Structure 1
Amino acid sequence: MRTRVLPYLLVGAVLALTCSAGVRADGGGNTAAPPDDRGTASDEPGSEQPAERGPGWETLWEMSVPHEAGRPFDLLDGAGVHVGADGALLVSHSGVVDVFDLATGALRFSVDPPLQVHSMAQLGNVVLVHSADDPRGAVRRYSDIVTAYDASSGALLWQQRGGPEGTLQPGEDGALRDTTVVLTERGAAWVGPSYLSGQDPVTGEWTWGREDDQQDCVADGVAATRGHALLLRECPDGDTVVEAVDPASGSPAWRQELGPLEEPRLSVTPDLVAVNHVTGGRPTVVVLDEAGETVTQATIQDPEFLAEMGITLLGRDEQNVYLVNGATLYALNAKAGEISWQRSTRWRGWWEGLWRTEGGDVVSVGGNGNWYDTAALGRPAESVVTDPDGRQYDVPLPNRGDPVGHGGDVLVTATRGSDGTRLSALRLRPDLHPEPVGLGGVPAAEWPDACALLSDDALGILGAERGTDYERLPVDDSREVNGTTLPHVPACRFASASGSAEELFEVGVRWVARDAETARRIAGGGLPWGVWEGELRALGSDSLLYGVASGPAGGFESVIMARGREVIVVVGRERELVLRVGELLASATDG
Structure 2
Amino acid sequence: MSRLTGTVRGRRGAVVVASRHRPGGRPESVGGVRVALGLVSGAVAIAVCAVLVDRFVLGAEWWQVRHTVTAEPVTPQREVGPPPGPLAVSWERTTRTHHGSVPGFDGVAYAVAQGQLVTASGRGLDVRDARTGGPRWSYRRSGWTLLGWASTRSRLVAYFERDGDRSDRLLVAFDALSGGLLWRREGTRPAAVSRTTLRWPAGSDVLLTTDEPRRTLFGVSAVTGRQVWRLPLPRGCRLAEGGARPSDGRETLTALALECAGGDRRGRLLAVDPAKGDVRWDRRLGSEESPDVSMLDGVTLASDGTALRAFGDDGEQFAAWAGDVCGDAMCPGVLAAGRLVVVYHPKGAKRGATRMEAVRVPSGRVEWRRDVPAYAALTQAGGEVFALRPRLSERLLPAGVDIVEPLDGRTATAPAPFAMNPDLPGARPWLAATGGLLYAAVPQAAPRPDGATRLVVLRGGLLGPGPAELDGVPAADWPDACALLKKPDLAAARMPGHRSAPAYASAGGVRLPHPVSCAYEPRHRDSGGAADRPPLADHRERRTRDPSASPSGTASPSNRPTGPGHEEGAAGGFTVSVRWTARTDQAASRMLDALQATQAQSRRRRDIGADEAYEIGPTAGMIALRVARCVVVVEADRPPGAAARLARSVAYRLRAPS
Aligned mate of 1:128, from 134, 157, 168: 157
* Partner amino acid, structure 1, of 2:129: D
Q: 1:222-257 CA distances to partner (integer Å, 9 max, x unpaired)?
A: 431122333456798979986544433x242x6336
2:615 corresponds in structure 1 to 547
In structure 2, how many angstroms separate the alpha carbons of the residues matched to 1:313 and 1:413? 15
1:380 corresponds in structure 2 to 398
| Structure 1 position 383, deviation (Å) | 4.6
CA contact (8 A) 1:309 1:325 kept: no
In structure 1, how many angstroms separate the alpha carbons of the residues matched to 2:605 and 2:118? 34
SS at match of 2:476: helix
CA contact (8 A) 1:548 1:558 kept: yes
Aligned mate of 1:288, from 288, 297, 312: 312
2:624 corresponds in structure 1 to 560
TM-score (norm 1): 0.69
* Partner amino acid, structure 2, of 1:412: A
* CA shift in 2, pair 1:579/1:236, >3 Å: closer
| Structure 1 position 508, deviation (Å) | 1.6
Q: 1:400-439 CA distances to partner (integer Å, 9 max, x unpaired)?
A: 1356433344222344445785723234759977874443
| Structure 1 position 399, deviation (Å) | 0.8
**For 1:469-480, what aligned pairs fall within 5 Å after superposition?**
469=496, 473-475=500-502, 477-480=503-506
Larger Rg: 2
**For 1:2-401, what aligned pairs fall within 5 Å after superposition?**
54-66=84-96, 68=97, 76=103, 79-84=106-111, 86=113, 87-92=116-121, 95=123, 97-114=125-142, 115-133=144-162, 140-141=166-167, 143-165=168-190, 181-191=200-210, 193-204=214-225, 206-212=226-232, 214-215=234-235, 222-231=247-256, 244-248=271-275, 250-252=276-278, 255-256=280-281, 262-263=286-287, 265=291, 267-274=293-300, 285-289=309-313, 292=314, 297-300=318-321, 306=325, 312=331, 314-326=333-345, 327-334=354-361, 336-347=363-374, 350=376, 353-366=377-390, 379-388=397-406, 389-401=408-420
CA contact (8 A) 2:257 2:293 kept: no
Q: 1:189-209 CA distances to partner (integer Å, 9 max, x unpaired)?
A: 3245443333232432x1513
In structure 1, how many angstroms separate the alpha carbons of the residues matched to 2:330 and 2:601? 37
| Structure 1 position 165, deviation (Å) | 4.8
SS at match of 1:83: strand
2:440 corresponds in structure 1 to 411
In structure 2, how many angstroms separate the alpha carbons of the residues matched to 1:268 and 1:514? 39
**For 1:400-479, what aligned pairs fall within 5 Å after superposition?**
400-402=419-421, 404-408=429-433, 409-417=438-446, 423-427=454-458, 436-454=467-485, 459-460=487-488, 463=491, 465=492, 469=496, 473-475=500-502, 477-479=503-505
SS at match of 2:189: coil
* CA shift in 2, pair 1:461/1:273, >3 Å: closer
In structure 1, how many angstroms separate the alpha carbons of the residues matched to 2:466 and 2:359? 30
Contiguous gaps of at least 5 residues in structure 1: 1-52, 175-179
Q: 1:209-232 CA distances to partner (integer Å, 9 max, x unpaired)?
A: 324274466665643112233345
In structure 2, how many angstroms separate the alpha carbons of the residues matched to 1:422 and 1:306? 27
SS at match of 1:517: helix
In structure 2, how many angstroms separate the alpha carbons of the residues matched to 1:124 and 1:433? 42
In structure 2, how many angstroms separate the alpha carbons of the residues matched to 1:213 and 1:504? 63
CA contact (8 A) 2:203 2:251 kept: yes
Q: Do residues 488 (structure 1) and 499 (structure 2) align?
A: no
In structure 1, how many angstroms separate the alpha carbons of the residues matched to 2:282 and 2:134? 46
Q: Which has the higher contact order (CA 8 A, sep 6+)?
A: 1
TM-score (norm 2): 0.63
| Structure 1 position 483, deviation (Å) | 5.1
* CA shift in 2, pair 1:183/1:256, >3 Å: closer
* CA shift in 2, pair 1:346/1:421, >3 Å: same
* CA shift in 2, pair 1:150/1:79, >3 Å: farther
Aligned mate of 1:535, from 600, 605, 609: 605
SS at match of 1:227: coil
| Structure 1 position 523, deviation (Å) | 1.9
* CA shift in 2, pair 1:470/1:215, >3 Å: same
In structure 1, how many angstroms separate the alpha carbons of the residues matched to 2:520 and 2:270? 66
* Partner amino acid, structure 2, of 1:328: R
* Partner amino acid, structure 2, of 1:519: A
Q: 1:256-313 CA distances to partner (integer Å, 9 max, x unpaired)?
A: 365x65339573424223365899x8x5745213xx375x71354x7x7638779747
In structure 2, how many angstroms separate the alpha carbons of the residues matched to 1:503 and 1:284? 47
Q: 1:436-455 CA distances to partner (integer Å, 9 max, x unpaired)?
A: 4443343322211122234x
| Structure 1 position 354, deviation (Å) | 3.6
2:13 corresponds in structure 1 to none
**For 1:488-527, what aligned pairs fall within 5 Å after superposition?**
488-493=514-519, 502=571, 504-527=573-596
| Structure 1 position 562, deviation (Å) | 0.8
Contiguous gaps of at least 5 residues in structure 2: 1-82, 241-245, 346-353, 422-427, 527-569
| Structure 1 position 589, deviation (Å) | 4.7
| Structure 1 position 335, deviation (Å) | 5.4
| Structure 1 position 337, deviation (Å) | 2.5
In structure 1, how many angstroms separate the alpha carbons of the residues matched to 2:588 and 2:506? 20
* CA shift in 2, pair 1:103/1:466, >3 Å: closer
| Structure 1 position 479, deviation (Å) | 4.2
SS at match of 2:222: coil
SS at match of 1:210: strand
2:74 corresponds in structure 1 to none
In structure 1, how many angstroms separate the alpha carbons of the residues matched to 2:292 and 2:586? 44
SS at match of 2:384: coil
In structure 2, how many angstroms separate the alpha carbons of the residues matched to 1:360 and 1:523? 31
* Partner amino acid, structure 1, of 2:160: S
In structure 2, how many angstroms separate the alpha carbons of the residues matched to 1:217 and 1:230? 15
| Structure 1 position 77, deviation (Å) | 7.9
| Structure 1 position 568, deviation (Å) | 0.7
* CA shift in 2, pair 1:228/1:443, >3 Å: same
* Partner amino acid, structure 2, of 1:547: E
In structure 1, how many angstroms separate the alpha carbons of the residues matched to 2:627 and 2:297? 49
In structure 1, how many angstroms separate the alpha carbons of the residues matched to 2:362 and 2:402? 27
In structure 2, how many angstroms separate the alpha carbons of the residues matched to 1:117 and 1:394? 37
* CA shift in 2, pair 1:546/1:394, >3 Å: same
Bigger strand fraction: 1
* Partner amino acid, structure 1, of 2:615: G
CA contact (8 A) 2:150 2:201 kept: no
**Count of residue pairs brought into register by the alignment:** 493
In structure 2, how many angstroms separate the alpha carbons of the residues matched to 1:129 and 1:241? 27
- Over the matched positions of the two proteins, sequence identity in percent amounts to 20
In structure 1, how many angstroms separate the alpha carbons of the residues matched to 2:340 and 2:363? 11
Greater Cα shift, 160-169 or 567-576: 160-169
* Partner amino acid, structure 2, of 1:508: S
* CA shift in 2, pair 1:312/1:163, >3 Å: farther
